[in-house]
Amino acid sequence: MSKSDFRAVLESAPEPQRTTLLVVVERVLAALPKGVKVQECISYGIPTIKIMGVSVAAVAANKDFCSYYPCSGGVLSTLAADLAGFSQTKSALHFPHGTPLPAALVKKLVKTRLEEISARGR
C-alpha cells in the first residue's frame, strides 16, 4: 500500500476520530528528526509511520476511542508514569475521540521508540 492509502484510511474515519488521528499523526511527524526519510504506510491494516523500514508509531480509530500504537512492547511500560490516566493495553494507548494526545506526550513516545531502535543498531 502507498502513502495515499495511509491518508485514505485516515480520511475515511468518521468524525471526530478523523481529525483526532490526523492531529496525532502530525505530532508524530513533527517529533521525528529533521531530514529522516519517513514512510507512511498501512501495516497490519492500520496507518503506520516508519523510518528506515522500522515502525515508529501507528494509529487507529475505534468505535469507543482512538488508539496509538508505539510499535514496541516496551515503550508504554517505560513511560508508565507519563501515561497514568490513559486506558491502555500491552500494545496500545487509548484516548478519547476529539482529544488528541498532547504534543509533549507524543514527542516522549516517539523519542522513546527512536531510542529503542537506536539501541538495537538500526
- Is 122 contained in some domain? no
The burial of 78, by beta-carbon neighbours within 10 Å (0-12 exposed, 13-18 middle, 19 or more buried), is given as middle
Q: What angle do CA 8, 13, 18 make, to 5 degrees?
A: 95
Q: Please give the residue range of the domain that contains residue 94.
A: 3-114
Would 50 be classed as within a structural domain?
yes
Per the structure, the count of domains in the chain is 1
Quick check: is 119 in a domain? no
What is the chain's pLDDT, residue by residue, as a tens digit (122 residues)? 455 699 999 999 999 999 999 999 999 999 999 999 999 999 999 999 999 999 999 999 999 999 999 999 899 999 999 999 999 999 999 999 999 999 999 999 999 999 999 988 75
